[in-house]
């Protein structure tokens, strides 16, 4: 039941060209920094990435854009990234934009073994084009499919050797659902403890969903919008 691997390179060693991977995080908050760096080192190409955002030019998924490792990006918002824009406009990169709640729920559906979900998000918009639409109780819904992915890469605050995970603050975001949804799920954590050290009532992601876990190193945790107030 020990799922600990020594580092990111070992954890991602079988992620291959043209695979589909999910990456947790919202903006740069709660992203699997170590795994992303390892993917850049490994140089796998043709990846389809499912993640709420695409990072910034020099950080997060942006690092893999720079090295042109991505074939397709599935996200809800992709601003703040000049290289992304360049690749998109030049046709090098395929992009599928989907509503954030649809993204979250399609990931949840995968983790919960549900083939589709129905959501009202996007009804009457171009998001609805080509999708099955159906009325329930007088309201229109779109049918959206669960995401299938080869790997899910998530970042947690604490984890144990069985793969149980605890997230911190808004760094939780998409991570718990993606942890549930990956065919293989890799978790990187800031604090790794022995099984039994986490309170079983406080675990956000039970270890059954996690296949590999490792202690992450040198977290940068960049802040996108540093907003502060002055002390009075």
Residues 3-42 that bind other proteins (CB under 8 A): 26-30
Mark the segment that binds its own copies (CB under 8 A) among 17-25, 36-44, 84-92, 133-141: 133-141
Mark the segment that binds other proteins (CB under 8 A) among 13-21, 36-44, 62-70, 204-212: 204-212
- Chain centroid to CA 195: how far? 25
Position of tokens 């799920």? 185
Q: Which of 177, 189, 192, 213 binds other proteins (CB under 8 A)?
A: 177
Alpha carbon distance 59, 227 (integer Å) = 19
Alpha carbon distance 164, 195 (integer Å) = 8
By CB under 8 A, residue 173 contacts other proteins: yes
**Which does residue 166 bind out of other proteins, its own copies, none, counting CB within 5 to 8 angstroms by kind?**
its own copies
Other beta carbons less than 10 A from residue 52's beta carbon: 25
Q: Which of 32, 160, 189, 214 binds other proteins (CB under 8 A)?
A: 160
**Which does residue 147 bind out of its own copies, other proteins, none, counting CB within 5 to 8 angstroms by kind?**
none
**Which does residue 127 bind out of other proteins, its own copies, none, counting CB within 5 to 8 angstroms by kind?**
other proteins
CA distances 99 to 53, 77, 90, 121, 127, Å, are 12, 9, 24, 7, 8
By CB under 8 A, residue 191 contacts other proteins: no
Minimum distance between the CB of residue 88 and other proteins, rounded to whole angstroms? 7
What count of residues does the chain have? Answer: 232
Interface residues for its own copies in 62-121 (CB under 8 A)?
Answer: 105, 112-120
Q: Which of 167, 174, 209, 214 binds its own copies (CB under 8 A)?
A: 167
Q: Which two tokens stand for residue 21?
A: 């991977």
By CB under 8 A, residue 196 contacts its own copies: no
Q: Give the H or E element holding residue 176.
A: helix 175-181
Say how many residues touch its own copies, by CB under 8 A.
22
Alpha carbon distance 187, 5 (integer Å) = 10
Q: Are the C-beta atoms of 141 and 133 separated by less than 8 Å?
A: yes
By CB under 8 A, residue 127 contacts its own copies: no
Query: At a CB cut-off of 8 Å and minimum separation 6, what does 63 contact?
Result: 36, 37, 40, 55
By CB under 8 A, residue 77 contacts other proteins: yes
Q: Residue numbers of the site for its own copies (CB under 8 A)? A: 105, 112-120, 136-137, 139, 141, 166-169, 172, 200-202
């Amino acid at each position: 039941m020990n799922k600990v691997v020594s580092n990111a390179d070992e954890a991602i060693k079988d992620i291959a060209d043209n695979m589909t991977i999910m990456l947790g995080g919202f903006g740069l908050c709660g992203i699997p920094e170590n795994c992303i760096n390892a993917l850049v080192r490994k140089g796998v190409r043709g990846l389809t990435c499912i993640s709420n955002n695409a990072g910034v030019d020099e950080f997060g998924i942006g690092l893999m854009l720079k090295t042109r490792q991505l074939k397709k990006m599935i996200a809800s918002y992709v601003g703040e990234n000049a290289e992304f824009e360049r690749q998109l406009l030049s046709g090098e990169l395929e992009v599928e934009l989907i509503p954030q709640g649809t993204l979250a729920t399609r990931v949840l559906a995968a983790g919960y073994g549900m083939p589709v979900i129905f959501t009202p998000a996007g009804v009457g918009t171009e998001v609805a084009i080509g999708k099955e639409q159906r009325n329930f109780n007088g309201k229109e819904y779109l049918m959206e499919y669960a995401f299938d992915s080869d790997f899910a890469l998530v970042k947690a605050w604490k984890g144990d050797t069985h793969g149980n995970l605890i997230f911190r603050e808004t760094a939780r975001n998409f991570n718990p659902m993606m942890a549930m949804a990956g065919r293989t799920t890799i978790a990187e954590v800031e604090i790794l403890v022995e099984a039994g050290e986490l309170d079983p009532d406080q675990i956000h992601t039970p270890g059954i969903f996690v296949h590999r876990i490792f202690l992450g190193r040198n977290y940068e945790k960049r802040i996108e919008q540093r907003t502060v107030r002055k002390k009075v």
